[in-house]
A = this chain, B = another copy of it.
């Protein structure tokens, strides 16, 4: 049994709380949020207590693990303190928006050999996990090209975008991790086009809402990531892996299996599941499960701090490509 404390009782924190509560080997014991009523609601629902300070949780011997779902700017601080308090850590992505801070954090906590898992939930999606297995087993031979389509159904709020670190660090970062998850070797080069096409507010903030990123590995495998932030037909999360002896494609998900055939069209299906909470429901459950299993079996977490760091480095390289108009070499060290 792993006893969890939750930092952050917003939308994604509430979902994690539900998953912890439903997990046979997990229990939610404490909740902290700067907005105290939010913490109270979640704690109340699951019979946990509300913590008034971070310390209260870190000093609590009853807490085995912390799930960090608070705002990005608090992650480094919470990871560092939780590592020192010897708590296992499951932290939402990204670790931070700044690589130097990430490196400094790791320099500080590495000697403690902390158990830190970063929340790249998509790795636990049953279809993507199966796809990776197929690629690792070489089911259709070596990988040649990877196409990752990743489109949000709607633009986030201005407030969100103001602190999210830009499209490539906030949204594409998932796709950088997915590319690394599926590739047999690390990307070595990045090229990126990005634009603000959806709403003037995006340009005002110096952000982007539409992007295409190319990656290349040493042996020449190519990746194209494409992002867009107003896919009105629903959350669009597809992968296409072209291999020596064929291709494997992962498709989207819908609320029902219905098709309409009318005078206007045939095979018209539902729009896709709206967004990540619905689309990755199963993935979040399995993410928690994998965390608990690795923790209990004293294995390395399935997504490491270094994975979080490398995804950020790829985002930085993409921004550098955008700025310089060059193909940028990736340096992970």
Cβ–Cβ contact A222 & B231, under 8 A: no
Option from B219, B246, B255, B261 in Cβ contact (under 8 Å) with A261:
B246
A121 contacts the other chain (CB 8 A): no
The reply to whether B233 and A222 form a contact with Cβ atoms under 8 Å apart is no
A272: interface (CB < 8 Å): yes
Q: How many chain A residues touch the partner (CB < 8 A)?
A: 71
Q: Which of A139-147, A177-185, A311-319 contacts the other chain?
A: A139-147
In A210-259, which residues have CB < 8 Å from any B CB? 210-212, 214, 216, 219-222, 224, 226, 228, 230-234, 242, 244-259
A197 located at the interface, meaning its Cβ lies under 8 Å from any Cβ of chain B in the complex: yes
Q: Which residue of B lies closest to A134 (CB)?
A: B258
Contact with B along A127-153 (1 / 0, CB 8 A): 100110010000010101101010100
- Judge whether A297 is part of the interface by a CB distance below 8 angstroms: no
| A268 vs B327: C-alpha distance when bound (angstroms) | 37
Q: Does A265 contact B (CB under 8 A)?
A: yes
Most buried by B among A145, A211, A249, A257: A257
Q: Is A246 in contact with B260, judged by CB distance below 8 angstroms?
A: yes
Q: Is A40 an interface residue (CB 8 A)?
A: no
- 8 Å CB contacts to B: which residues of A239-297? 242, 244-272
Contacts A233-B246, A258-B131 given; indicate if A226 touches B224 (C-beta within 8 A).
Answer: yes
Bound-state Cα–Cα, A242 to B210, Å: 10
How distant is A181 from chain B, measured CB to nearest CB, in Å? 15
Interface positions of A from 3 to 28, Cβ below 8 Å from B: 22
User: Quick check: A197 and B144 within 8 Å, CB to CB?
Assistant: yes
A117 nearest CB across to chain B (Å):
23
In the complex, chain B residues whose CB is within 8 Å of the CB of A260: 140, 246-248, 265, 268
Copies of this chain, how many?
4
Q: Kindly state the separation between the CA atoms of A255 and B128 in the bound complex, as whole angstroms.
A: 12
- Kindly provide the distance from the CB of A224 to the nearest chain B CB, expressed in whole angstroms: 5
CB nearest neighbor in B for A246: B262
**Interface-forming stretch among A74-82, A97-105, A188-196?**
A188-196
Assess whether A262 is in contact with B232, with CB atoms less than 8 Å apart. Answer: yes
**Measured between C-beta atoms, what is the minimum distance from A227 to chain B in Å?**
9
Cβ of A84 within 8 Å of any chain B Cβ, yes or no, is no
A327 touching B262, Cβ below 8 Å: no
Please tell me if the beta carbons of A191 and B220 are within 8 angstroms of each other in the complex: no
Question: Is A36 part of the contact surface with B, judged by Cβ < 8 Å?
Answer: no
| Residue A158 interfacial (CB < 8 Å) | no
Distance between A90 CB and nearest chain B CB, rounded to angstroms: 22
* Minimum Cβ distance to chain B for residue A264 (Å): 7
Interface residues of A (CB under 8 A from B): 22, 126-127, 130-131, 134, 140, 142, 144-145, 147, 149, 151, 189, 191, 193, 195-198, 210-212, 214, 216, 219-222, 224, 226, 228, 230-234, 242, 244-272, 321, 325-327
